[in-house]
Copies of this chain bind each other. A is one copy, B any other.
Amino acid sequence: MKSALVQEPDLASVVAALGGTLFGDSASRISGLAPLESASGSEISFLSHPKYQQQLLGSMAACVIVSPGMESVARQRGACIVVDDPYLYFAKLTQWWKRLLPCESGPKVHPTAVIHETAFVDPSASVGPLCVVERGASIGANTVLKSRVTVSEGCSLGQRCVVHPGVVIGADGFGFALTNGTWEKIEQLGGVRIGNDVEIGANTCIDRGALSDTVIEDGVKLDNLIQIGHNVHIGKHTAMAGCVGVAGSATIGAHCTVGGGGIVLGHLSLADHVNVSAATVVTRSIRKPGTYTGMFPIDDNSAWEKNAASLKQLHSLRDRIRVLEETLKTMENK
A contact residues vs B (CB 8 Å cutoff): 1, 3, 32-35, 38, 85, 87-88, 90-92, 94-95, 97-98, 104, 110, 112, 114, 128-130, 132, 134-136, 146-148, 150, 152-155, 162, 164-166, 168, 171-172, 174-177, 179, 181-191, 199, 201-203, 205, 207-213, 219, 221, 223-225, 227, 229, 237, 239, 241-243, 245, 247, 255, 260-261, 263, 265, 276-284, 290-301, 303-315, 317-318, 320-321, 324-325, 327-328, 331-332
- Which residue in chain B gives the minimum CB-CB distance to A115? B129
Report if A237-B300 is in contact (Cβ < 8 Å); known contacts: A201-B205, A310-B317.
Answer: no
Inside 8 A of A146's CB, which chain B residues have their CB?
150, 152, 171
- A150 pairs with B148, CB closer than 8 A: yes
Which chain B residue lies CB-closest to A134? B147
Given A90-B186, A263-B243, decide whether A310 and B314 contact each other with a Cβ distance below 8 A: yes
CB contact under 8 A between A168 and B168, given known A187-B94, A305-B293: no
Q: With both chains docked as a complex, state the minimum distance between the C-beta of A176 and any C-beta of chain B, in angstroms.
A: 6
A305 to B320, CA, bound (A): 18
Known: A34-B211, A331-B331. 12 other contacts (CB 8 A): A1-B136, A32-B189, A91-B185, A98-B189, A162-B172, A183-B219, A225-B227, A227-B260, A243-B243, A263-B279, A295-B308, A296-B311
Contact status A298-B280, CB under 8 Å? yes
Q: Among B94, B166, B299, which residue has its beta carbon within 8 angstroms of that of A293?
A: B299
Residues of B within 8 A of A150 (CB): 146-148, 165-166, 202
Q: In chain B, what residue has the closest Cβ to A43?
A: B211
Q: Which of B33, B166, B301, B315 contacts A310 (CB 8 A)?
A: B315
Task: From known contacts A203-B203, A295-B283, A299-B294, infer whether A245 and B263 are also in contact, taking CB-CB under 8 Å.
Answer: no
Taking the full assembly, how many copies of this chain does it contain?
A: 3
Determine the chain B residues whose CB is within 8 A of the CB of A201 once the complex forms. Answer: 171-172, 174, 205
A-B pairs, 9 with minimum CB distance: A1-B191, A294-B298, A1-B154, A94-B187, A171-B202, A91-B177, A306-B315, A227-B242, A168-B202
Question: Mind listing 15 A-B residue pairs with CB under 8 Å?
Answer: A90-B186, A91-B179, A146-B152, A147-B150, A168-B202, A181-B255, A183-B219, A227-B243, A277-B301, A280-B296, A283-B297, A292-B300, A293-B300, A310-B317, A311-B311
State whether B237 touches A247 (Cβ < 8 A). no
Residues of B within 8 A of A315 (CB): 303, 306-307, 309-310
